[in-house]
Structures are given as structure tokens and as C-alpha cells.
Amino acid sequence: MPTIPASHRDLLQSAPVVILATKGADGYPQVSALWFIAETDGTVRMSINTARQKAKNLERDPEATIFFIDPGNPHHTMEIRGRAVIEPDPGYLLADRVGAKYGANLRDMDGPGQTRIAVTFVPVKINTFG
């Protein structure tokens, strides 16, 4: 498994969001900006409401790309192509961590009966620029 180069690990902290690209059922990309958590080992995780199209796309096809851009330098970017490992998050364990990072309560963003998944992104290829 490739690792994030030291030259771009700062993006895990400085990027306000990660851009997630999934493949829709029609074959076209579906792109979303998402809140994320970077674990100490560099693993990127996201909390996604299962009612969202991106969750449905990942359930059907877990291969996806996430893209980071430095808010202070648009020439400092990182693309991680990989596979999403999806787990239920019924107790909002990851959702609460993500919400705490962004000063929000993700429970308030979900409608009645909606659930969340914890998505862990496993890199297959990492491309960097700048």
C-alpha cells in the first residue's frame, strides 16, 4: 500500500475539505466536497449519510478518488486513488469525531430514520503536485 509522501502530509491538516469522486450508476463521475478526519497514520476517513448518492455509489463500486488542495497554494495538491472500506456507524462514533473537528453535530444533519456509514479510504496510488 502506498504511503503519503512527507512533502504532502501537511495537506491532511491544512485542507479544509477533501474532494471525493465516485462513479455513478450511469458511469459518470459524481464529485462532492466532504469533511474528513486524518488519523495519525495518515488514514483518511469520512462519515457519510446513507441516503446520499455518494454512499450509494461507494456501496456499488468502492473504487474512488479523493483530492486535496492546499488552501494557501493551489499548486500543492494530492490525489489518492483507492478503495473505500465501508462500515456501519450506528453509534455515530466516527460522525461525532468528524463533527467535533468542524464544530458541528452531524446527528442534527440527518433526517428521521437516516443512518451513517464510516468510510475508510485505502490508497492504491498517490499522485502529488507541487
Q: Over the stretch 40-87, which tens digit does the pLDDT of each residue have?
A: 999 999 999 999 999 999 999 999 999 999 999 999 999 999 999 999
Q: Over the stretch 100-120, which tens digit does the pLDDT of each residue have?
A: 999 999 999 999 999 999 999
- The class (CATH top level) of 6-129 is mainly beta
Q: What is the DSSP annotation of 62-99? A: -EEEEEEEETTEEEEEEEEEEEEEEEE-TT-HHHHHHH
**Nearest-CA neighbor of 117 among 29, 57, 76, 28?**
57
Give the pTM. 0.94
Q: What is the pLDDT of residue 90?
A: 94
* Per-domain boundaries in the chain: 6-129
In the chain the first and final C-alpha atoms are separated, in Å, by 22
Residue 31: pLDDT band by 50, 70, 90 thresholds? very high
- Residue 33 pairs in a beta bridge with 19
C-alpha torsion angle, residues 79, 54, 90, 94 (rounded to 10): 20
